[in-house]
Amino acid sequence: MRVLVTGGAGFIGTNLVRRLLSEGQEPVIFDDFSSGLGSNVNDLDVRVIRGSLVDLEAVVGAAQGVVMRSCTSGHGDLSRVLSPTPLLHMKSTQLGR
């Protein structure tokens, strides 16, 4: 299963990506690198998309064909967001709309 991990270059996101890889999943990292580090993901064989969650076009593009999991800091425990409408969930939980 292809899984979009927002905040995937951060500490929690990187560990989630490693776990998903060990389970045979196909993680895709989406991060703006405002607090995550490129060095956290350099050794991972995954697709990395540089983008911001406030850029709806970037999120829509990155979310094509994936389940969303979020490790974005400052928004509570969103590490297991599995929503049938992930963009609506992201909009309400992370953008406050």
pLDDT of residue 68: 60
pLDDT of residue 30: 93
Cβ atoms of residues 29 and 49 within 8 Å: yes
pLDDT of residue 32: 92
Cβ atoms of residues 29 and 9 within 8 Å: yes
* pLDDT, tens digit (0-9, with 9 covering 90-100), for 50-93: 999 888 889 888 988 887 655 655 544 444 444 445 555 555 45
Which is the CATH superfamily of the domain at 2-94? NAD(P)-binding Rossmann-like Domain (3.40.50.720)
Domain coordinates in residue numbering, the chain: 2-94
* pLDDT, tens digit (0-9, with 9 covering 90-100), for 11-50: 999 999 999 999 999 999 999 998 888 888 899 999 999 9
Between β-strands 67-70 and 2-6, what pairing exists: parallel, antiparallel or unpaired? parallel
Cβ atoms of residues 66 and 46 within 8 Å: no
Q: Return the amino acid letter for 71.
A: C
Query: How many residues can be counted in the chain?
Result: 97
Distance CA 60, CA 54 (A): 11
Distance CA 16, CA 65 (A): 19
Distance CA 39, CA 57 (A): 26
